[in-house]
Amino acid sequence: MRPIVPEQLRDQVFRGSVATASGLLTPDQLRGASWRPLFRDVYVHRAVQVTHELRIRGVVLLLPDAVVTGRSAALLWGLHLLGTEDDVEVTLPPGSHPRRIGGVRARLAGLPDGHVGRRRGLPVTTPAATAVRLAAALPHDDAVAAVDRLVATGVVDLGPMRALAAEGRGPASIRAQSVCALADGLSESPQETRLRLLIGRTSLPPPVAQFTVRHDGRFVARVDFAWPEHRLVLEYDGLWHAETGQFARDRRRLNRLRVAGWQVIHVTAADLHHPERLMSLLIAAIGG
């Protein structure tokens, strides 16, 4: 016999106990090959692709009082910091008695009403509250990179985020304030943020991020970092520079910058593993 797949269960997560109680499925059917268990009593049709967001929906079904927070909240706001199988992060009201659920990281905390909204039909911390939580919870440079990317998506501005961080008290809030103060939302990749932070720990003057180079009134290029007074450009070359046709475009761009009288230093991920060499090169270029 062909498996019975009720239309209302075909594309969404559901509680198995609810489906059997309502007569949509029998217990034997639920145990069949058509259904994939996500958590205890939470299922989805085998044809549905399992993503972290789908698992979030399953957790919210299990824990109706939960608010999606941390890196899971960041994913709902467009910042992907988690893989499919990583724990779903939620916050439950004080006084809750959550049972242990594999694949779920739950904490008890009070969330002010102004810090909670909805995204894609799910209860989630606002972009500013999500950014502050990331700033407090992640390792320092990872946190700055994450907040930078969240600001770059356009869902949160630096001002409201920093103001919210300033409201907190305690060590975690101090970390969040420090991270939010360092974020600028200009970096186009996490590695650009890490490169900016690396420069900030040296005696080098701070560069101008996303600087537009012009020559004789004409646009030449928009560069990752620049020291205009030294006519020095610093570019981070990510994997996308290896895409078909990108090498030729990069070389034409480099030639335009050189003709305009600018020196260009390129940085790769490998260079970030030997920061002392890179910083020595930059200091020599600026000193010259």
CA trace torsion 92, 96, 101, 106 (10° rounding): 30
Q: Taking Cα atoms as reference points, which of 133, 283, 278 lies closest to residue 194?
A: 278
| Per-residue pLDDT band at 3 (split at 50, 70, 90) | low
Domain holding 253, by residue range, is 190-287
pLDDT of residue 2: 53
**Domain CATH code at residue 236:** 3.40.960.10
How many domains, in total, are found in the chain? 3
Q: Taking Cα atoms as reference points, which of 84, 191, 115, 111 lies closest to residue 148?
A: 191
Instruction: Tell me: do 281 and 250 sit in the same domain.
Output: yes
pTM given for the model: 0.87
Q: What is the DSSP letter of 102?
A: T
List strands edge to edge, sheet with 14-15: 14-15, 42-45, 35-39
Alpha carbon of 38 to those of 45, 75, 234: distances in Å? 10, 19, 46
* Burial label, 67 (beta-carbon count in 10 A; 0-12, 13-18, 19+): buried
Alpha carbon of 36 to those of 3, 59, 227: distances in Å? 14, 15, 55
Q: What is the mean pLDDT of residues 15-26?
A: 94
In the predicted model, is pLDDT for residue 167 greater than 80? yes
Instruction: Tell me: do 70 and 174 sit in the same domain.
Output: yes
Instruction: Tell me: do 170 and 68 sit in the same domain.
Output: yes
Q: Taking Cα atoms as reference points, which of 134, 146, 130, 242 lies closest to residue 194?
A: 146
Domain C-terminal end among 182, 201, 216 = 182
pLDDT of residue 45: 96
232 belongs to a structural domain: yes
Q: What is the pLDDT of residues 169-224, one digit of tens each?
A: 899 999 999 999 999 999 989 999 999 999 999 989 999 999 999 999 999 999 99
More confident residue, 151 or 1: 151
Instruction: Tell me: do 72 and 175 sit in the same domain.
Output: yes
